């Protein structure tokens, strides 16, 4: 990332890439996440998912900062941060 000035806490606040998970059962290949990701992390995969839609793939994993825009703009609730523990998230509320 090209910064025109260096933030004072750049060395402390080391950004960790966030791993985004794409739910291939839900994705309908609309392309919003690809289009609106501010860092160009995602690209259309060129192959079809189980429902016949073109899938999306995380291409530049290290560039992702977890801003969550893809998660927010996805119409299908189909892209979200992967968790460390595998398994279904416990429900709250």
Partner 1 sequence: MTKMLTVEANPMDCYLRVDRIPHIWCAGCGIGPATGCFIRAIDRAELDPNKISVVSGIGCAGRMAGYIKLDSFHTTHGRALPFATGLKLANPELNVVVFSGDGDLVAIGGNHLIHSARRNIDMTVICINNFNYGMTGGQVGATTPLDARSTTTPYGNFEYPFNVPYLMTACGATYVARWTVLHVRELERSITEALNKPGFSFIEVLSPCPTVYGRLNKLPRGLDEMRSYREKSVIRDGADPKDVDLSLNGPIVVGKFVDIERPTLWDSYRQMLDRASKL
Summarize as ranges the residues that interact with partner 1 (CB under 8 A). Answer: 21, 23, 25-26, 28-32, 35-36, 51, 53, 69, 71-78, 80-83, 86-89, 91-93
CB of 45 to partner 1, least distance (A): 15
DSSP 63: G
For partner 1, the closer of residues 10 and 35 by Cβ is 35
Comparison of 10 and 48: residue with beta carbon closer to partner 1: 48
Judged on CB neighbours under 10 Å (0-12, 13-18, 19+), 17 is: middle
* Of 10 and 51, CB closest to partner 1: 51
SS3 state at 31: coil
CB of 89 to partner 1, least distance (A): 4
Are 20 and 78 within 8 A, CB to CB? no
What are the strands, taking DSSP E only, across the chain? 20-22, 42-48, 54-58, 79-81
Q: How far is the CB of 40 from partner 1 (least distance, A)?
A: 15
């Amino acid at each position: 990332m090209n910064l025109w000035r260096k933030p004072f806490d750049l060395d402390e606040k080391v950004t960790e890439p966030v791993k985004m998970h794409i739910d291939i059962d839900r994705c309908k290949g609309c392309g919003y996440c690809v289009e609106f990701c501010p860092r160009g992390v995602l690209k259309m995969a060129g192959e079809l998912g189980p429902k016949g839609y073109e899938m999306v793939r995380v291409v530049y994993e290290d560039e992702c900062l977890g801003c969550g825009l893809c998660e927010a703009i996805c119409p299908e609730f189909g892209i979200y941060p992967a968790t460390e523990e595998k398994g279904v998230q416990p429900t709250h509320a």
